Structure 1
Amino acid sequence: TFGHTILQDDLTNVEPDVILSDLDTGVSNLSYLSGAFNQDKRDSYLLPSSGFNFSASYKISSEVIGSDANFATVGSRLSFLLPMPRFERFSLANRSQAGASWGFSGTEEIPISQRFYLGGQNSVRGFRENSLGPRGSQGHVIGGDLLVANNLEFRYQINDSFLIHTFLDAGTVYLMDETVSLSDIRTSTGLGFRYLSPIGPIGFDLGKP
Protein backbone atom coordinates (compact mmCIF):
# COMPACT_ATOMS: atom_id res chain seq x y z
CA THR A 1 0.00 0.00 0.00
CA PHE A 2 1.07 3.58 -0.67
CA GLY A 3 -0.17 6.95 0.51
CA HIS A 4 0.46 10.66 0.92
CA THR A 5 -0.36 12.34 4.22
CA ILE A 6 -0.60 16.06 4.96
CA LEU A 7 -1.10 17.23 8.53
CA GLN A 8 -0.66 20.32 10.66
CA ASP A 9 0.64 20.13 14.23
CA ASP A 10 -0.45 22.92 16.56
CA LEU A 11 1.86 22.40 19.52
CA THR A 12 0.95 24.98 22.14
CA ASN A 13 1.21 23.02 25.42
CA VAL A 14 4.43 21.06 24.98
CA GLU A 15 6.54 20.58 28.10
CA PRO A 16 9.78 22.61 27.73
CA ASP A 17 12.09 19.69 28.51
CA VAL A 18 10.88 17.61 25.53
CA ILE A 19 11.40 20.34 22.92
CA LEU A 20 14.35 19.32 20.75
CA SER A 21 13.86 21.81 17.90
CA ASP A 22 11.55 24.53 16.58
CA LEU A 23 9.41 21.75 15.07
CA ASP A 24 8.28 20.79 18.59
CA THR A 25 6.51 24.04 19.38
CA GLY A 26 4.04 26.27 17.57
CA VAL A 27 2.51 25.34 14.23
CA SER A 28 4.30 23.00 11.84
CA ASN A 29 3.18 21.43 8.58
CA LEU A 30 4.17 17.88 7.73
CA SER A 31 3.80 16.17 4.37
CA TYR A 32 5.06 12.66 3.80
CA LEU A 33 4.86 9.72 1.44
CA SER A 34 4.39 6.30 3.01
CA GLY A 35 4.16 2.68 2.01
CA ALA A 36 3.75 -0.71 3.61
CA PHE A 37 4.17 -4.36 2.72
CA ASN A 38 2.44 -7.18 4.57
CA GLN A 39 2.66 -10.96 4.27
CA ASP A 40 0.15 -12.87 6.36
CA LYS A 41 0.57 -16.65 6.57
CA ARG A 42 -1.57 -17.25 9.65
CA ASP A 43 -4.31 -19.86 9.49
CA SER A 44 -6.93 -17.31 10.59
CA TYR A 45 -7.12 -13.52 10.63
CA LEU A 46 -9.31 -13.17 13.74
CA LEU A 47 -8.37 -16.27 15.75
CA PRO A 48 -5.04 -17.61 14.47
CA SER A 49 -3.51 -20.74 15.95
CA SER A 50 -0.40 -21.11 13.75
CA GLY A 51 1.60 -19.29 11.09
CA PHE A 52 3.36 -15.94 10.84
CA ASN A 53 2.78 -12.35 9.81
CA PHE A 54 5.48 -9.99 8.52
CA SER A 55 5.12 -6.30 7.73
CA ALA A 56 7.50 -3.53 6.69
CA SER A 57 6.84 0.17 6.22
CA TYR A 58 8.51 3.43 5.29
CA LYS A 59 7.76 7.14 5.51
CA ILE A 60 9.55 10.01 3.76
CA SER A 61 8.90 13.65 4.65
CA SER A 62 10.48 16.40 2.56
CA GLU A 63 10.31 20.10 1.83
CA VAL A 64 9.95 19.06 -1.82
CA ILE A 65 6.36 17.96 -1.07
CA GLY A 66 5.54 20.86 1.26
CA SER A 67 6.80 19.61 4.63
CA ASP A 68 8.57 21.69 7.27
CA ALA A 69 10.77 18.70 8.12
CA ASN A 70 13.03 16.39 6.14
CA PHE A 71 13.15 12.90 7.62
CA ALA A 72 12.73 9.23 6.81
CA THR A 73 11.31 6.39 8.89
CA VAL A 74 11.48 2.63 8.37
CA GLY A 75 9.93 -0.10 10.48
CA SER A 76 9.27 -3.82 10.51
CA ARG A 77 7.28 -6.31 12.55
CA LEU A 78 7.33 -10.11 12.65
CA SER A 79 4.89 -12.22 14.64
CA PHE A 80 4.41 -15.96 14.73
CA LEU A 81 2.34 -18.63 16.45
CA LEU A 82 3.90 -22.01 17.12
CA PRO A 83 1.71 -24.92 18.26
CA MET A 84 3.26 -27.53 20.54
CA PRO A 85 1.85 -30.87 19.30
CA ARG A 86 3.42 -32.86 22.14
CA PHE A 87 1.67 -30.65 24.67
CA GLU A 88 -1.95 -30.41 23.64
CA ARG A 89 -3.51 -26.95 23.99
CA PHE A 90 -0.13 -25.24 24.59
CA SER A 91 1.46 -22.82 22.11
CA LEU A 92 4.10 -20.10 21.82
CA ALA A 93 3.40 -16.67 20.36
CA ASN A 94 6.00 -14.00 19.64
CA ARG A 95 6.04 -10.51 18.14
CA SER A 96 9.22 -8.57 17.36
CA GLN A 97 9.37 -5.04 16.03
CA ALA A 98 12.01 -2.45 15.22
CA GLY A 99 12.02 1.04 13.76
CA ALA A 100 14.37 3.90 12.96
CA SER A 101 14.00 7.53 11.90
CA TRP A 102 16.63 10.02 10.77
CA GLY A 103 16.70 13.56 9.49
CA PHE A 104 18.39 14.91 6.38
CA SER A 105 18.87 18.18 4.46
CA GLY A 106 19.07 20.33 7.59
CA THR A 107 16.59 18.50 9.82
CA GLU A 108 18.50 17.14 12.82
CA GLU A 109 15.65 16.16 15.16
CA ILE A 110 12.51 14.15 14.40
CA PRO A 111 9.30 16.16 15.14
CA ILE A 112 7.71 15.21 18.44
CA SER A 113 4.54 13.86 16.80
CA GLN A 114 6.60 11.50 14.61
CA ARG A 115 8.89 10.02 17.27
CA PHE A 116 8.56 6.49 18.59
CA TYR A 117 6.88 5.82 21.93
CA LEU A 118 6.57 2.57 23.90
CA GLY A 119 4.80 1.32 26.97
CA GLY A 120 1.28 0.14 27.65
CA GLN A 121 -1.16 -2.59 26.71
CA ASN A 122 -0.28 -2.74 23.03
CA SER A 123 3.51 -2.58 23.33
CA VAL A 124 5.36 -3.30 26.59
CA ARG A 125 2.78 -4.33 29.16
CA GLY A 126 3.25 -3.50 32.83
CA PHE A 127 4.29 0.09 32.07
CA ARG A 128 2.19 3.20 31.65
CA GLU A 129 1.22 4.21 28.13
CA ASN A 130 4.15 5.75 26.20
CA SER A 131 6.30 5.91 29.34
CA LEU A 132 9.53 4.26 28.14
CA GLY A 133 12.66 5.83 26.71
CA PRO A 134 14.59 9.07 27.20
CA ARG A 135 13.25 11.75 29.53
CA GLY A 136 13.85 15.47 29.71
CA SER A 137 15.34 17.42 32.61
CA GLN A 138 11.92 17.63 34.27
CA GLY A 139 11.15 13.94 33.82
CA HIS A 140 8.81 14.12 30.83
CA VAL A 141 9.04 11.47 28.09
CA ILE A 142 10.84 12.77 24.99
CA GLY A 143 10.22 9.88 22.62
CA GLY A 144 12.88 8.41 20.37
CA ASP A 145 14.08 7.82 16.84
CA LEU A 146 15.07 4.18 17.40
CA LEU A 147 12.67 1.49 18.62
CA VAL A 148 13.12 -2.15 19.63
CA ALA A 149 10.47 -4.34 21.27
CA ASN A 150 9.57 -7.99 21.73
CA ASN A 151 6.52 -9.75 23.18
CA LEU A 152 6.68 -13.46 24.04
CA GLU A 153 3.66 -15.43 25.24
CA PHE A 154 3.25 -19.00 26.48
CA ARG A 155 -0.41 -19.88 25.95
CA TYR A 156 -2.78 -22.53 27.24
CA GLN A 157 -6.17 -22.89 25.57
CA ILE A 158 -8.68 -23.97 28.21
CA ASN A 159 -11.38 -24.78 25.64
CA ASP A 160 -12.69 -23.42 22.35
CA SER A 161 -13.67 -20.12 23.98
CA PHE A 162 -11.02 -19.26 26.58
CA LEU A 163 -7.25 -19.18 26.93
CA ILE A 164 -4.74 -17.96 29.49
CA HIS A 165 -1.11 -16.98 28.98
CA THR A 166 2.04 -15.81 30.66
CA PHE A 167 4.16 -13.19 28.93
CA LEU A 168 7.59 -11.61 28.85
CA ASP A 169 7.76 -8.20 27.21
CA ALA A 170 10.88 -6.13 26.52
CA GLY A 171 11.66 -2.91 24.69
CA THR A 172 12.59 0.73 24.70
CA VAL A 173 13.18 3.72 22.42
CA TYR A 174 16.42 5.64 21.96
CA LEU A 175 17.62 8.96 20.60
CA MET A 176 20.32 8.50 17.98
CA ASP A 177 22.56 11.20 19.46
CA GLU A 178 22.71 9.32 22.77
CA THR A 179 24.54 6.12 23.66
CA VAL A 180 22.53 3.03 22.75
CA SER A 181 22.82 0.47 25.54
CA LEU A 182 21.09 -2.88 26.06
CA SER A 183 20.85 -1.99 29.75
CA ASP A 184 18.20 0.59 28.83
CA ILE A 185 15.79 -2.09 27.62
CA ARG A 186 12.92 -2.51 30.07
CA THR A 187 11.22 -5.82 30.73
CA SER A 188 7.98 -6.97 32.30
CA THR A 189 6.27 -10.26 33.06
CA GLY A 190 2.67 -11.09 33.71
CA LEU A 191 -0.48 -13.08 33.12
CA GLY A 192 -3.34 -12.63 30.69
CA PHE A 193 -6.79 -13.96 29.89
CA ARG A 194 -8.63 -14.05 26.56
CA TYR A 195 -12.19 -14.79 25.52
CA LEU A 196 -12.11 -15.98 21.91
CA SER A 197 -15.17 -14.17 20.63
CA PRO A 198 -16.45 -14.41 17.03
CA ILE A 199 -15.12 -10.90 16.37
CA GLY A 200 -11.69 -11.58 17.85
CA PRO A 201 -10.00 -12.07 21.25
CA ILE A 202 -11.23 -9.97 24.20
CA GLY A 203 -9.43 -9.94 27.54
CA PHE A 204 -6.93 -8.34 29.85
CA ASP A 205 -3.30 -8.56 30.98
CA LEU A 206 -1.67 -7.93 34.35
CA GLY A 207 2.04 -7.10 34.13
CA LYS A 208 4.83 -6.17 36.51
CA PRO A 209 8.18 -4.58 35.52
Structure 2
Amino acid sequence: MLTIGPEWHSKLPSGWQRVLSLKYQREEYRLGDDSGLSNLLMPGLTYSYLRSDNRIDPHNGYRIQFDTKLAKEGVGSDTNLLYGTVLLKGLTTVWDNHRFLGRVQFGGSATNGYKSIPPSLRFFAGGDQSVRGYDYQTLSPENSEGDRIGGRYMVAGSVEYQYSIAEKWRIATFVDQGNSFNKLELPNLKTGVGVGVRWVSPVGPIRVDLAHAMNDDGGIRLHFSMGPEL
Protein backbone atom coordinates (compact mmCIF):
# COMPACT_ATOMS: atom_id res chain seq x y z
CA MET A 1 0.00 0.00 0.00
CA LEU A 2 1.23 3.48 -0.91
CA THR A 3 -0.14 6.55 0.91
CA ILE A 4 1.15 10.06 0.25
CA GLY A 5 -0.14 13.56 0.90
CA PRO A 6 0.06 16.56 3.22
CA GLU A 7 -1.51 17.17 6.63
CA TRP A 8 -2.27 20.50 8.32
CA HIS A 9 -2.40 20.43 12.13
CA SER A 10 -3.90 23.17 14.28
CA LYS A 11 -4.98 23.62 17.89
CA LEU A 12 -8.21 25.56 18.25
CA PRO A 13 -8.87 28.07 21.08
CA SER A 14 -11.42 25.62 22.52
CA GLY A 15 -8.66 23.06 23.08
CA TRP A 16 -9.68 20.79 20.21
CA GLN A 17 -7.03 19.55 17.80
CA ARG A 18 -7.89 19.68 14.10
CA VAL A 19 -6.12 17.87 11.27
CA LEU A 20 -6.91 18.56 7.62
CA SER A 21 -5.41 16.16 5.11
CA LEU A 22 -5.33 15.28 1.43
CA LYS A 23 -4.16 11.71 0.87
CA TYR A 24 -3.64 9.63 -2.24
CA GLN A 25 -3.84 5.92 -1.44
CA ARG A 26 -2.93 3.14 -3.86
CA GLU A 27 -3.52 -0.39 -2.59
CA GLU A 28 -3.41 -3.80 -4.24
CA TYR A 29 -5.63 -6.26 -2.41
CA ARG A 30 -7.33 -9.64 -2.36
CA LEU A 31 -10.11 -10.48 0.09
CA GLY A 32 -11.92 -13.67 -0.82
CA ASP A 33 -13.46 -13.07 -4.25
CA ASP A 34 -12.77 -9.32 -4.09
CA SER A 35 -9.45 -8.31 -5.59
CA GLY A 36 -8.00 -5.43 -7.50
CA LEU A 37 -5.90 -2.28 -7.41
CA SER A 38 -7.53 0.60 -5.57
CA ASN A 39 -6.77 4.27 -6.24
CA LEU A 40 -8.35 6.82 -3.90
CA LEU A 41 -7.77 10.56 -3.51
CA MET A 42 -9.28 11.46 -0.15
CA PRO A 43 -9.60 14.79 1.64
CA GLY A 44 -9.90 14.10 5.36
CA LEU A 45 -10.83 15.87 8.57
CA THR A 46 -10.04 14.85 12.17
CA TYR A 47 -11.16 16.52 15.38
CA SER A 48 -9.83 15.30 18.73
CA TYR A 49 -10.01 16.51 22.31
CA LEU A 50 -7.99 15.22 25.26
CA ARG A 51 -8.49 16.21 28.88
CA SER A 52 -6.00 14.47 31.15
CA ASP A 53 -4.24 15.13 34.45
CA ASN A 54 -1.08 13.35 33.24
CA ARG A 55 0.07 12.63 29.69
CA ILE A 56 1.96 9.43 30.53
CA ASP A 57 -0.14 7.87 33.30
CA PRO A 58 -3.41 9.76 33.81
CA HIS A 59 -5.69 9.15 36.78
CA ASN A 60 -8.67 11.07 35.42
CA GLY A 61 -9.62 12.27 31.98
CA TYR A 62 -11.22 11.50 28.65
CA ARG A 63 -10.57 11.51 24.91
CA ILE A 64 -12.98 12.27 22.07
CA GLN A 65 -12.00 11.78 18.42
CA PHE A 66 -13.89 12.03 15.12
CA ASP A 67 -12.36 11.08 11.76
CA THR A 68 -13.88 11.35 8.31
CA LYS A 69 -12.62 11.06 4.74
CA LEU A 70 -14.24 11.29 1.33
CA ALA A 71 -13.48 9.99 -2.16
CA LYS A 72 -15.26 10.97 -5.38
CA GLU A 73 -15.28 8.66 -8.40
CA GLY A 74 -13.54 10.29 -11.34
CA VAL A 75 -11.68 12.79 -9.16
CA GLY A 76 -8.53 10.77 -8.59
CA SER A 77 -10.58 7.85 -7.24
CA ASP A 78 -12.01 4.60 -8.62
CA THR A 79 -15.21 4.76 -6.56
CA ASN A 80 -17.28 6.95 -4.25
CA LEU A 81 -16.62 6.57 -0.54
CA LEU A 82 -17.67 8.30 2.67
CA TYR A 83 -15.79 6.89 5.67
CA GLY A 84 -15.92 7.85 9.33
CA THR A 85 -14.95 6.71 12.83
CA VAL A 86 -15.68 7.85 16.39
CA LEU A 87 -13.59 7.05 19.48
CA LEU A 88 -14.61 7.82 23.08
CA LYS A 89 -12.41 6.91 26.06
CA GLY A 90 -12.75 7.77 29.73
CA LEU A 91 -10.85 7.13 32.96
CA THR A 92 -11.59 7.92 36.59
CA THR A 93 -9.80 7.02 39.82
CA VAL A 94 -11.50 6.80 43.23
CA TRP A 95 -9.93 6.32 46.66
CA ASP A 96 -6.47 6.39 45.02
CA ASN A 97 -6.29 2.66 44.24
CA HIS A 98 -9.47 2.00 42.22
CA ARG A 99 -9.46 2.88 38.51
CA PHE A 100 -12.36 2.54 36.07
CA LEU A 101 -11.83 2.76 32.31
CA GLY A 102 -14.32 2.80 29.44
CA ARG A 103 -13.94 2.79 25.66
CA VAL A 104 -16.46 2.97 22.80
CA GLN A 105 -15.60 2.86 19.08
CA PHE A 106 -17.87 3.26 16.06
CA GLY A 107 -17.12 3.12 12.37
CA GLY A 108 -19.12 3.29 9.18
CA SER A 109 -18.82 3.71 5.43
CA ALA A 110 -21.05 4.40 2.44
CA THR A 111 -20.07 3.53 -1.11
CA ASN A 112 -21.56 2.54 -4.45
CA GLY A 113 -18.75 0.04 -5.10
CA TYR A 114 -17.95 -1.95 -1.98
CA LYS A 115 -15.96 -4.60 -3.87
CA SER A 116 -13.56 -1.82 -4.89
CA ILE A 117 -12.90 -0.78 -1.28
CA PRO A 118 -9.51 -2.10 -0.08
CA PRO A 119 -9.01 -3.88 3.28
CA SER A 120 -7.55 -0.80 4.97
CA LEU A 121 -10.90 0.99 4.52
CA ARG A 122 -13.12 -1.91 5.57
CA PHE A 123 -13.94 -2.58 9.19
CA PHE A 124 -12.69 -5.47 11.30
CA ALA A 125 -12.78 -6.07 15.06
CA GLY A 126 -10.76 -8.17 17.47
CA GLY A 127 -7.33 -7.75 19.03
CA ASP A 128 -5.45 -5.84 21.73
CA GLN A 129 -7.15 -2.47 21.13
CA SER A 130 -10.55 -3.81 20.09
CA VAL A 131 -12.10 -7.01 21.52
CA ARG A 132 -9.61 -9.00 23.57
CA GLY A 133 -10.01 -12.77 23.53
CA TYR A 134 -10.05 -12.74 19.72
CA ASP A 135 -7.12 -12.49 17.34
CA TYR A 136 -6.38 -9.29 15.44
CA GLN A 137 -9.11 -8.44 12.88
CA THR A 138 -10.78 -11.86 13.08
CA LEU A 139 -14.27 -10.48 13.80
CA SER A 140 -15.67 -9.76 10.37
CA PRO A 141 -18.36 -10.77 7.90
CA GLU A 142 -17.40 -13.81 5.82
CA ASN A 143 -18.13 -14.81 2.25
CA SER A 144 -19.59 -18.17 1.22
CA GLU A 145 -16.13 -19.77 1.44
CA GLY A 146 -15.49 -18.57 4.98
CA ASP A 147 -13.02 -15.81 4.05
CA ARG A 148 -13.10 -12.73 6.29
CA ILE A 149 -13.85 -9.82 3.98
CA GLY A 150 -14.45 -6.92 6.37
CA GLY A 151 -17.62 -4.97 7.03
CA ARG A 152 -19.22 -1.64 6.24
CA TYR A 153 -19.72 -0.89 9.93
CA MET A 154 -18.04 -1.60 13.26
CA VAL A 155 -18.81 -1.17 16.94
CA ALA A 156 -16.59 -2.10 19.89
CA GLY A 157 -16.44 -1.23 23.56
CA SER A 158 -14.73 -2.09 26.80
CA VAL A 159 -15.20 -1.68 30.55
CA GLU A 160 -12.14 -2.25 32.75
CA TYR A 161 -11.39 -2.11 36.47
CA GLN A 162 -7.84 -1.73 37.80
CA TYR A 163 -6.55 -1.98 41.35
CA SER A 164 -3.16 -0.59 42.40
CA ILE A 165 -1.15 -3.18 44.35
CA ALA A 166 2.11 -1.17 44.43
CA GLU A 167 3.41 2.20 43.25
CA LYS A 168 3.98 1.06 39.66
CA TRP A 169 1.87 -2.12 39.52
CA ARG A 170 -1.83 -2.75 38.95
CA ILE A 171 -4.05 -5.74 38.36
CA ALA A 172 -7.04 -5.52 36.04
CA THR A 173 -10.23 -7.25 35.00
CA PHE A 174 -12.28 -6.36 31.92
CA VAL A 175 -15.14 -7.12 29.57
CA ASP A 176 -14.90 -6.27 25.84
CA GLN A 177 -17.64 -6.48 23.20
CA GLY A 178 -17.78 -5.73 19.50
CA ASN A 179 -18.00 -6.87 15.90
CA SER A 180 -18.05 -5.62 12.31
CA PHE A 181 -21.09 -6.07 10.10
CA ASN A 182 -22.75 -5.03 6.83
CA LYS A 183 -26.34 -4.16 7.78
CA LEU A 184 -27.64 -1.40 10.05
CA GLU A 185 -29.48 -3.69 12.42
CA LEU A 186 -28.76 -5.05 15.90
CA PRO A 187 -25.31 -6.67 15.43
CA ASN A 188 -24.20 -10.01 16.83
CA LEU A 189 -21.67 -8.71 19.34
CA LYS A 190 -18.81 -10.96 20.41
CA THR A 191 -17.68 -10.87 24.04
CA GLY A 192 -14.27 -11.31 25.62
CA VAL A 193 -13.52 -11.32 29.36
CA GLY A 194 -10.19 -11.48 31.13
CA VAL A 195 -7.65 -10.40 33.69
CA GLY A 196 -4.33 -8.62 33.35
CA VAL A 197 -1.41 -6.86 34.96
CA ARG A 198 -0.14 -3.32 34.37
CA TRP A 199 3.36 -1.92 34.93
CA VAL A 200 3.74 1.85 34.70
CA SER A 201 6.94 2.35 32.69
CA PRO A 202 8.56 5.73 31.84
CA VAL A 203 6.72 5.70 28.47
CA GLY A 204 3.35 4.69 29.89
CA PRO A 205 1.65 1.54 31.14
CA ILE A 206 2.70 -1.82 29.72
CA ARG A 207 -0.31 -4.14 29.64
CA VAL A 208 -0.34 -7.94 29.62
CA ASP A 209 -3.78 -9.60 29.51
CA LEU A 210 -5.23 -13.09 29.43
CA ALA A 211 -8.63 -12.99 27.74
CA HIS A 212 -11.26 -15.63 27.06
CA ALA A 213 -13.51 -15.44 24.00
CA MET A 214 -17.06 -16.18 25.14
CA ASN A 215 -18.32 -16.97 21.62
CA ASP A 216 -17.34 -19.42 18.89
CA ASP A 217 -15.81 -21.93 21.33
CA GLY A 218 -13.00 -19.48 21.97
CA GLY A 219 -10.02 -20.33 24.11
CA ILE A 220 -7.68 -18.14 26.12
CA ARG A 221 -5.51 -15.61 24.30
CA LEU A 222 -2.53 -13.55 25.49
CA HIS A 223 -2.58 -9.83 24.65
CA PHE A 224 0.21 -7.26 24.98
CA SER A 225 0.01 -3.50 24.52
CA MET A 226 1.65 -0.33 25.81
CA GLY A 227 1.17 3.41 25.95
CA PRO A 228 -1.07 5.91 27.79
CA GLU A 229 -4.57 4.76 28.72
CA LEU A 230 -6.19 7.75 26.98
Opposite residue 146 of structure 1, the aligned amino acid is Y
Q: Report the structure, 1 or 2, having the larger helix content.
A: 1
CA shift, 1:128, in A, is 1.1
Q: CA RMSD in A?
A: 1.6
2: distance between equivalents of 1:112 and 1:9?
A: 7
Does residue 4 of structure 1 match 2:25?
no
Q: Indicate the residue corresponding to 2:92 in structure 1.
A: 82
Q: Indicate the residue corresponding to 2:113 in structure 1.
A: 107
Q: Deviations over 1:117-169 (max 9, x none)?
A: 11011110000110112111121111111111101101111222111100100
2: distance between equivalents of 1:152 and 1:110?
A: 35
Of 187, 197, 211, which aligns to 1:207? Answer: 211
Seen in structure 2, the aligned counterparts of structure 1 residues 14 and 57 have a Cα distance that, compared at 3 Å, is closer
1: distance between equivalents of 2:186 and 2:39?
A: 33
Of 144, 147, 160, which aligns to 2:151? Answer: 144
1: distance between equivalents of 2:31 and 2:110?
A: 22
Seen in structure 2, the aligned counterparts of structure 1 residues 73 and 110 have a Cα distance that, compared at 3 Å, is farther
Q: Indicate the residue corresponding to 1:92 in structure 2.
A: 100
Does residue 55 of structure 1 match 2:73?
no
CA shift, 1:112, in A, is 3.1
Aligned pairs for 1:117-196 (under 5 A) are 117-176=124-183, 180-182=185-187, 184-196=188-200
Seen in structure 2, the aligned counterparts of structure 1 residues 132 and 110 have a Cα distance that, compared at 3 Å, is farther
CA shift, 1:14, in A, is 3.8
Q: Deviations over 1:24-54 (max 9, x none)?
A: x222211111111111011122211101111
Alignment: residue pair count? 194
Contact in 2 for aligned 1:110/1:145 (Cα 8 Å): no
Q: Indicate the residue corresponding to 1:22 in structure 2.
A: none
1: distance between equivalents of 2:56 and 2:74?
A: 41
Q: Give percent identity, aligned residues only.
A: 28
Q: Report the structure, 1 or 2, having the larger strand content.
A: 2
Seen in structure 2, the aligned counterparts of structure 1 residues 14 and 80 have a Cα distance that, compared at 3 Å, is closer
Contact in 1 for aligned 2:31/2:148 (Cα 8 Å): no
TM norm structure 1 = 0.87
